[in-house]
Amino acid sequence: MKRILLTLMVVVAGLSTIAPDASAQTDNSNTGAGKRQKLMNDWHRDMAEFRARSAEDRQLRELADSLASVQARAALRNQDFVLEADNVQFRNGSTVFVNSSTNFISVKGNRAVVQISPSNFASGPNGLGGVTVDGIISGQEVRTDSKGRTTFSMNVTGIGVNAQVEIYMFPGSNRASATVYPNFNSNTVWLEGSIVPYENANVIEGSSL
């Protein structure tokens, strides 16, 4: 009888030690699941905030582009603008990324300046690594097609130098490209950059031909 009682006491003691361990494992499992769920909730919240910020930033960029486009078109029609070029392409197909402050086409009333200065090392005829043509404009014309693309064309007549210029402005922004056909050689040049009102331009004009 004593042996049976002793055996029962040992079994009960063993069960009493096992029961808390099983409960702890259940608690740990619940805690781990709770942490995973919290991480997922935090991730979904962060993604929602990111999408909201991205949509807001996109709307602000579109608004800024639209405003810049309106200002540029008005400046173009008023003949009071500067195309600040950030890259220039030559007849041989080579493209050079340039300083927009020294590569530009400006129009103020009936005066125009076409300056191309791709070199940062040589002074060039204009003292800025390139050529500057300063002249009076004539034959200017502004056209807008059904897709919203605006074309501004003009002739620039300087001292012994003439050039035909066509500027193409893309819809929805102030980005534009220009083609310059000089009469003194066949070296047609293409420029691409942004159109800004004349008073907002930041350019350095060199010595003209």
What amino acid is encoded at 43 in this protein? Answer: W
Number of Cβ atoms within 10 Å of the Cβ of 90: 14
Q: For the whole model, what pTM was predicted?
A: 0.70
Those residues with Cβ within 8 angstroms of residue 161's Cβ, 6 or more apart along the chain or in another chain: 133, 135, 182, 183, 184, 209
The values of phi and psi at residue 129, to 5°, are: 90, 25
Pairing of strands 95-97, 104-108: unpaired
Those residues with Cβ within 8 angstroms of residue 134's Cβ, 6 or more apart along the chain or in another chain: 111, 112, 113, 158, 205, 208, 209
Q: What pLDDT tens digit does each residue of the chain (209 aa) get?
A: 544 444 444 434 444 544 445 454 555 666 777 788 878 788 878 777 777 777 666 666 666 667 888 999 999 999 999 999 999 999 888 899 999 999 999 999 999 999 999 876 667 778 887 888 899 999 999 998 988 889 999 999 988 678 999 999 988 899 999 999 987 667 899 999 999 999 999 999 888 76
* All domains in the chain, ordered by first residue: 1-209 (2.40.128.410)
Q: Which helix (H) or strand (E) holds 81?
A: strand 80-89
Residue with tokens 């493209």: 95
Contact between 117 and 128 under an 8 Å Cβ cutoff? The reply is yes
Q: What is the DSSP string of 17-29?
A: HHHHHHHHHHHHH
